[in-house]
């Protein structure tokens, strides 16, 4: 019998996620016309609940103004791997130091629809409490959302995205007035599906 989500400690959840991610077939996207990028999906445990860390981007950034996303960005020349990109960007944007991050695995690549990126997501556990240091030019707010809230059936709603000039059916997550949509919602959906398999 599978345990409810609240019954897992962070170490148990890490082990389960790591096993599933290592065994699943990751879907890669190759497109020379798009920019390689990576995001970090930080997860922590507080009072028996798991939380996922998102950021709200400022209106000063070049892409994704005001959107809810995971910490991340485009790959730089000095980044040896996309994992390095995710870790560097998380440190630059919210002060999450590499040595405090335990990368568990990666999810499928996703395309952004309002910009020209291929996004590679990396799941990681981080300690709690954590003192984030926000880059105020890029990040307006750090938002922590409990996973149980995201799994609520009323949280997920139909949505429409525009990909290559065509409208496509999609979905968005809503939490306390916050709308999580686009590539972030699609990445989140795959992670939540895996967590559901773990917890039943």
* Paired tokens of 193: 């599906």
Give me the domains of the chain, ranges plus CATH numbers: 5-151+182-199 (3.90.79.10)
Indicate the pTM of the whole model: 0.94
Give the pLDDT of residue 1: 44
Q: Which residues pair with 120 in a beta bridge?
A: 38
Q: How many residues does the chain have?
A: 200
On the 0-12 / 13-18 / 19+ scale of CB atoms within 10 A, 168 is exposed
* Paired tokens of 90: 């998380």
On the question of a cis peptide bond just before residue 143, with omega within 30 degrees of 0, the verdict is: no
Q: What is the chain's Cα-based Rg?
A: 16
144-178: pLDDT as tens digits: 999 999 999 999 999 998 877 889 899 999 999 99
Q: Which residues of the chain have pLDDT under 70?
A: 1-3, 200
């Amino acid at each position: 019998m599978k345990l409810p989500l609240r019954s897992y400690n962070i170490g148990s959840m890490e082990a389960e996620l790591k096993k599933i991610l290592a065994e699943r077939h990751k879907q890669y996207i190759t497109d020379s016309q798009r920019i390689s990028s990576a995001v970090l999906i930080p997860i922590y445990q507080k009072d028996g609940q798991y939380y996922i860390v998102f950021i709200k981007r400022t209106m000063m950034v070049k892409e994704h103004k005001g959107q809810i996303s995971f910490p991340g960005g485009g790959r730089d020349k000095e980044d040896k791997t996309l994992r390095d990109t995710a870790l560097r960007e998380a440190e630059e944007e919210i002060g999450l130091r590499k040595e405090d991050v335990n990368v568990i695995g990666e999810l499928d690549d996703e395309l952004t629809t309002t910009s020209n990126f291929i996004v590679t997501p990396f799941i990681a556990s981080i300690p709690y409490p954590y003192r984030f240091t926000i880059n105020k030019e890029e990040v307006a707010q750090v938002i922590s959302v409990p996973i149980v809230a995201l799994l609520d059936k009323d949280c997920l709603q139909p949505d429409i995205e525009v990909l290559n000039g065509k409208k496509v059916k999609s979905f968005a997550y809503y939490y306390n007035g916050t709308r999580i949509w686009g590539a972030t919602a699609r990445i989140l959906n795959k992670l939540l599906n895996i967590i559901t398999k773990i917890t039943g």
